[in-house]
Amino acid sequence: MSSDLKNQQEDQTSKEFEKWRISLSNLTGLGLTNEEKERIIMEKDWNKCEKWKKNLITNSPMITFLLDHLKKSGCEFNSTSIQCHPCPETKSGGFSIEHGILLCQNRFFNKKHLEDTLSHELIHAFDHCKFNLNWFNLRHHACSEIRAANLSGDCRWTREVKRGFYSFNKQHQACVKRRAILSVIANPSCESREMAEKAVNEVWESCFKDTRPFDEIY
Ligand SMILES: [Zn+2]
């Protein structure tokens, strides 16, 4: 019994020591393994992403507007159906029928960027809810990507400057088209860039004009 107690005490002490070592290392960055560093970054990213997400769900006019329309259309989204996760460098968010909305916690420059990404994915969710899209059909997918890029703020000119595109002439439309094509290329049913371009061009006129649930681009 007493040796159990001693072991317990030792366990406790080593746990305390470990906690202390990690919190001290977090400040200095010294003595941490790469795995520990990664874990800390992941935790920080997740906390930040969750904090911004929760804040936007209640305070952003754009996000609350979209959530409201989703609810009215019978597809309610809440905080748990919008999840923060680490992602590879190629994307910042995603929408899936089974999993809901993904926010790539390690990909956001700032809260506004997360807001635009969340708006983009909520427009996909809205399209899916309202129009029963077939995501393997490239024209359906293209239409939703055009709308998401057009309406979400993805193509705000300040963001374009950050990406290195400086010509403002028809910049918004060019940005929407470019981003829609890139997203359609990632569709498993898309075999080439030409196929993606064709799908986007075919639905462009009607989908660029279709600003539901917004009356107009603001
Ligand atoms: Zn998209």
> 88 versus 121: which is more confidently predicted?
121
Q: Annotated catalytic, 121?
A: yes
The mean pLDDT of the chain is 87
> 209 versus 10: which is more confidently predicted?
209
Long-range contacts of 172-177 (CB under 8 A, 24+ apart): 173/208, 175/149, 176/146, 176/149, 176/150, 176/208, 177/146, 177/204
Tens-place pLDDT, residues 131-150: 989 999 999 999 999 999 99
CA-to-CA dists, residue 31 to 13, 27, 28, 34, 162, angstroms = 19, 11, 8, 10, 36
Q: How remote is the CA of residue 179 from the centroid of ligand 1, in Å? A: 8
CA-to-CA dists, residue 189 to 135, 163, 186, 196, angstroms = 9, 28, 9, 10
Q: Where are the domains of the chain?
A: 34-132, 134-218
Catalytic residue among 121, 194, 202, 216: 121
Tens-place pLDDT, residues 97-129: 888 999 999 999 899 999 999 999 999 999 999
pLDDT given for residue 4 in this prediction: 62
Q: How remote is the CA of residue 38 from the centroid of ligand 1, in Å? A: 28
Residue 94 and residue 82: Cα distance in Å, rounded? 10
> 19 versus 105: which is more confidently predicted?
105
> pTM for the complete prediction?
0.81
